[in-house]
Amino acid sequence: MAQAPVSGLSSSSGVEQRLSQIERMLEARSGAQLEMLNQLNSLQQDVAELRGITEEHEYRLEQLLQRQRELYQEIDRRFSNLKDTNSQVDNAGSNYNNLKQVPTETDGSGYSQNLSENDAYDEAIALVLEDKRYDAAIPAFESFLKNFPNSTYVPNAHYWLGQLFFAERQYDKAKQHFETVVNKYPDSNKRGDCLLKLGAIASEQGKTADAKAYYKQVIEQYPDSTEANLAKQRLNK
């Protein structure tokens, strides 16, 4: 008798082979896509980290430039003091009131005619910006605030005390001085940084909700500042 044909079996085997090949191709493609996705995620993380590092460096650079500007202002003010003193000597017979200058408000950059007040502030600020004697700067600023409570330099003195106590991790004392600047001196150019530091203190003390509130306040009130960029970075974390 004639043998049964096997063409149907061969056809079925070929289909299975093709399906198996297609499955392998799909698996290979899926594996490649998954690897590309992992690489993309890794690159995105790297970019985020680099952005954070860049913002941190920008913030530190801004802080350094701010300290330099303050130092230059202090030096310029001292030369102004010396110039005014020489003018008084040269014009001893003239009216003293004609030599007076009117101080500016709140930010501590104004000139005061009270020389003992100037000397006290000069000494305190020099301990921070020039001598780096932070332990000695704390009592110097505290004495200044006690002796000259109405000085135009008061907000700056509170700011520096807050910074010094913050560096010493004495957060409660630092918070008091930063809050003084925020609440009593809204025009101070240190207010944005004080809000940022209050957020950092709250974070260190485990008060997450308060920290978020301070960071959001920085972003809302100082949207284009370096402090706002850093506040956004800390909120994301």
Residue 99 lies in a domain: no
> What pLDDT was estimated at residue 69?
59
Residue 202 lies in a domain: yes
Residue 94 lies in a domain: no
Q: Please report which confidence band the pLDDT of residue 86 belongs to, taking 50, 70 and 90 as the band edges.
A: very low
Amino acid, single-letter form, for residue 205: Q
Q: Which of 216, 180, 221, 178 is nearest to 198 (CA)?
A: 178
Q: What is the CATH number of the domain that holds 78?
A: 1.25.40.10
Residue 103 lies in a domain: no
DSSP state of 187: T
> What pLDDT was estimated at residue 109?
41
Q: Which of 215, 236, 226 is nearest to 56 (CA)?
A: 226
> What pLDDT was estimated at residue 11?
61
Range of the domain at 160: 14-89+109-236
- How many domains is the chain built from? 1
CA 48 to chain centre: 18
- Residue 227's alpha-carbon distances to 31, 79, 168, 199, 216, in angstroms, are 43, 32, 21, 11, 11
Residue 35 lies in a domain: yes
Residue 103 has pLDDT above 60, yes or no: no
How far is Cα 71 from Cα 140, in angstroms, rounded to an integer? 17
Q: Please report which confidence band the pLDDT of residue 8 belongs to, taking 50, 70 and 90 as the band edges.
A: low
Residue 163 has pLDDT above 60, yes or no: yes
In the chain, at which residue ranges do the beta strands (DSSP E only) sit? none
> What pLDDT was estimated at residue 62?
63
> What pLDDT was estimated at residue 10?
55
> What pLDDT was estimated at residue 30?
75
How far is Cα 203 from Cα 74, in angstroms, rounded to an integer? 33
Residue 209 has pLDDT above 60, yes or no: yes
